[in-house]
Amino acid sequence: MKRKAISVLILTCLIITLLLTGCTESERVSHNVSQEADNFNVLRRLAIINTVSGEPVFEMIGRFSITADTDDNQLEVVVEVEDGQYKKHIIGLNSATTMYVVEDIKGAKVNKYKYEVNYLPKAIQPFDVVTKD
């Protein structure tokens, strides 16, 4: 009887421990994918969309780490370039008129250090630079 009680107690403790410390497989996978992306190992696409017109206004494709800075309402994107240097892009957002989407692109075999930034022509206003002496 004593042996059975100890076995039940040990089994109960083991089950409680697993329930309290366990996490789901999707949480582990999500963490691992985020870690890989932050280490520049995931090819991704970032799109900024004007929610009023529905038109995309900015696109970036490459291997980059992205952080949403909610205090300053901006995205901070760090890109590793071929010579081992890093470039940081800061993208300002307007909560009333813009949204962003980050898409993981799978299966593409590309240069690890290649990235692309596209400004979409309809969103860019031309200007002339005038110098005065």
Q: Give tens-digit pLDDT for 77-103.
A: 998 888 888 899 999 988 788 888 887
26 with 45, same domain? no
34 with 44, same domain? no
48 with 11, same domain? no
Range of the domain at 57: 40-121
In this structure, how many other beta carbons lie within 10 angstroms of the beta carbon of residue 74?
15
In this structure, how many other beta carbons lie within 10 angstroms of the beta carbon of residue 70?
9
28 with 74, same domain? no
Which contiguous run of DSSP H or E holds residue 49? strand 43-50
95 with 113, same domain? yes
Q: What is the pTM of this model?
A: 0.62
In a domain, 132, yes or no: no
- What is the domain count for the chain? 2
In a domain, 65, yes or no: yes
In this structure, how many other beta carbons lie within 10 angstroms of the beta carbon of residue 92?
11
Residue-averaged pLDDT of the chain: 76
Distance CA 57, CA 42 (A): 23
